[in-house]
A and B are shown apart, each in its own frame.
Chain A
Amino acid sequence: MTEATIRVENVTKRYGETEAVRGVDLTMAPGECVAMVGHNGAGKSSLIKLMLGLTTPTSGRIRLLGGDPSSAAASHIRRQVGFLPENVAFHPNMTGRETLDFYARLKGAPRRDNDALFERVGLEPAAVKRRVGTYSKGMRQRLALAQALLGGPKVLFLDEPTTGLDPALRQSFYAIVAALRDAGTTVLLCSHALTELEGQADRVVVMNRGRKVADGSLATLRSLARLPVRIRLTLPTDDIADLARRVGEGAALTRLAGGVVELACANDDKVDLVRRIACDGPAVDDIEIVQPSLDEMYAHFLRREAAE
């Protein structure tokens, strides 16, 4: 395994009485895309600010690309970091090009690459010449992504990057993120739009009230959560008594709208159950297997946290 790009060790951040981040450990490797999920106020943005060195931890230690991000010598670290803040704002009277030029100069990135960058995020040359004040939300977000990509960052922080974007834009957004990850960039994605993170992130970190409550790949989290898998059957008849008998104790049976019957069972029993239904069960028109979604797992981890 290569050297970790981000290493957060037992970090706590207190603002007056409130603890925004409590004892969080987090390690991220190059080429890894980690999704951080949680409610508003779960400590996601606070943690990003700590990792960017905008604030200093009350206790604990943070290493970003091998250095302390809040130290005076952090300039060379920040040159390799991209950040897309939540609710990004640009000066409305500057054009898109002027805005990106300004940030490129600050970062010491060559400005001749800006055109390629605009093309990459899908901002038309005509739009680039217009003032940012005339931009739609989607265009502003593209410009925000362009500035985050300046200078080819090794670490990319994206705080709620897809809020307010239409589905087509989201697709292209995630395509860019995937390409970056494959090129070896560490990407940290913050979101509460959980469903769209499925398939994008290598790892999911669940935050709640400043604490990290779960951390692992989607598959790991699934097995940890032990949430039931649901098998949906469309039956030609209304007779579910026979089905109930065959299914037995292992699964809970509910009747849904449109003649659909849902069986909820443990992940380990899934294959066996499907085989039984298919081989010697009643006639079935259609079968659909629904894995627990990220939303459900997230809700589960929050419930578990609340119960403790």
Chain B
Amino acid sequence: MNTLLIIASKEVREAVRNRWVVATTLLMAALALTLSFLGAAPTGTVGVGPVEVTIVSLSSLTIFLLPLIALLLSFDAVVGEIDRGTMTLLLSYPVARWQVLFGKFLGHAAVIALATVVGYGAAGVALASGGTPIAEESWRAFASMIGSSVLLGAAFTALGYLASTLVRDRGTAAGIAVAIWLGFVLLYDMALLGMLVAGGGSGIGVEALNWLLLANPADAYRLFNLTGFKSVSAFAGTAGLAAHANVSVPLLLAVLAAWVAAPLALATALFSRKQI
């Protein structure tokens, strides 16, 4: 356990020195603040508060941005260290391979978590000081959006680690990371939409659609944030979907957690067998 923390804290320290932490936190905060100020404009007539508007726009943006940041941070984690020769030295120390992988993952996930919590938290502070009274449920929705964003970041960090252990070449790992992002974030939903349109709504059943949405961490995140709370789904226009999609909140969280655990487990298995 101690070894894990030593490796994780080194990873965090490197990210701080690289300005990764500062850069991602500032980026997240800037986006969140912009959206929360812009989001204050259309409120009043539709009967939703500024927090709900912010949650919808921010979570939609998070789906694109956070996976990209997580993959950029993680695709080099293993293959890069092997390439530079630092992995050989590290593994000659009394550490197990799973400890190296988990420790590094913990460090990177912590960097993403920190950037998300601080960045989005800043938007929360801005909203709170806005003067409009905000219901407790809205705050709960906002907090769970931050929490699920951290999970989403961790899931794509884990996918990045998988890409990083899969191949021997940094360029290939970067390519796989881009493919993962394109696939899960853009193409998957397009394909799903295409399937629905082509089938005229009767091609695949609701049940199948639910499972297909769960098979993508980005969609699980979207469902969780847009349908998880009534006040949000009313504004997001997903109230109808939420009524049909009888996927419970704990299940969505479990799916996100599985998207963290499964790639990481696979990466660990691959890394343990890897000839350095």
Question: What's the least CB distance linking A164 to chain B, in Å?
Answer: 15
In the assembly, what is the distance between CA of A83 and CA of B93, in Å?
9
CA distance A91 to B276 in the complex (A): 19
Q: Which of A54, A76, A105, A108 contacts B92 (CB 8 A)?
A: A54
Q: In the complex, what distance in Å separates the CA atom of A118 from the CA atom of B103? A: 27
Q: How far is the CA of A102 from the CA of B94 in the complex (A)?
A: 13
| Closest B residue, CB atoms, query A147 | B89
Interface size in chain A (residues, C-beta < 8 A): 30
- Flag if A55 contacts B93 (CB, 8 Å): no
- A89 contacts B85, CB within 8 Å? yes
Interface size for B (C-beta < 8 A) is: 22
A-B interface pairs (CB < 8 A), number = 61
Q: Please tell me if B13 contacts chain A, counting CB pairs below 8 Å.
A: yes
Contact A106 B275 (CB under 8 A): no
Interchain CB contact (< 8 A) of B93 among A49, A93, A98, A106: A106
Residue A107 at the B interface, CB < 8 A?
A: yes
Interface string of B176-190 (1 = CB under 8 A from A): 000000000000000
Please tell me if the beta carbons of B94 and A107 are within 8 angstroms of each other in the complex.
yes
Chain B nearest CB from A154 CB (Å) reads 14
Please report which residues of chain A, range 39-89, place their CB below 8 angstroms from some CB of chain B when the two chains form the complex.
49, 52, 54-55, 72, 74-76, 78-79, 81, 83, 85-89
Contact A93 B88 (CB under 8 A): no
Task: Indicate whether B128 reaches chain A with its CB closer than 8 angstroms.
Answer: no
The interface residues of chain B lying within 8 Å CB-to-CB of A88 are: 85, 89
How far, in angstroms, from A108 to B6 measured CA to CA in the complex? 11
A 95-110 to B, binary, CB cutoff 8 A, 1 in contact else 0: 0001000110111100
The answer on a CB contact under 8 Å between A103 and B93 is yes
Q: Mark B83-125, 1 if CB is under 8 A from A, else 0.
A: 0111011111111100000000000000000000000000000
Q: CB of B18 within 8 A of chain A? A: yes
- Whether B89 contacts A106 by the Cβ 8 Å rule is no
Complex Cα–Cα for A93 and B12 (A)? 12
Q: Are A108 and B276 in contact, CB atoms less than 8 angstroms apart?
A: no
Bound Cα distance A102, B88 (Å): 16
Inter-chain contacts of A94 with B (CB < 8 A): 13-14, 17
B residues lining the A interface (CB < 8 Å): 3, 6-7, 10, 13-14, 17-18, 84-86, 88-96, 275-276
Known: A75-B94, A79-B94, A91-B14. 12 other contacts (CB 8 A): A52-B91, A52-B92, A54-B91, A55-B275, A55-B276, A72-B96, A86-B85, A89-B84, A94-B13, A94-B14, A105-B6, A106-B90
Top 10 closest pairs, chain A to chain B, by CB: A93-B17, A75-B94, A83-B92, A78-B94, A89-B84, A106-B93, A79-B94, A105-B6, A52-B92, A89-B85
Interface residues in chain A, defined as those with a beta carbon under 8 Å from any beta carbon in chain B: 15, 49, 52, 54-55, 72, 74-76, 78-79, 81, 83, 85-91, 93-94, 98, 102-103, 105-108, 147
A-B contact pairs, 30 of them (CB 8 A): A15-B275, A52-B92, A54-B88, A55-B276, A75-B94, A75-B95, A75-B96, A76-B94, A78-B93, A79-B94, A83-B92, A85-B88, A85-B89, A86-B85, A87-B85, A88-B89, A91-B17, A93-B14, A93-B18, A94-B17, A102-B10, A103-B93, A105-B6, A106-B3, A106-B6, A106-B7, A106-B94, A106-B95, A107-B94, A147-B89
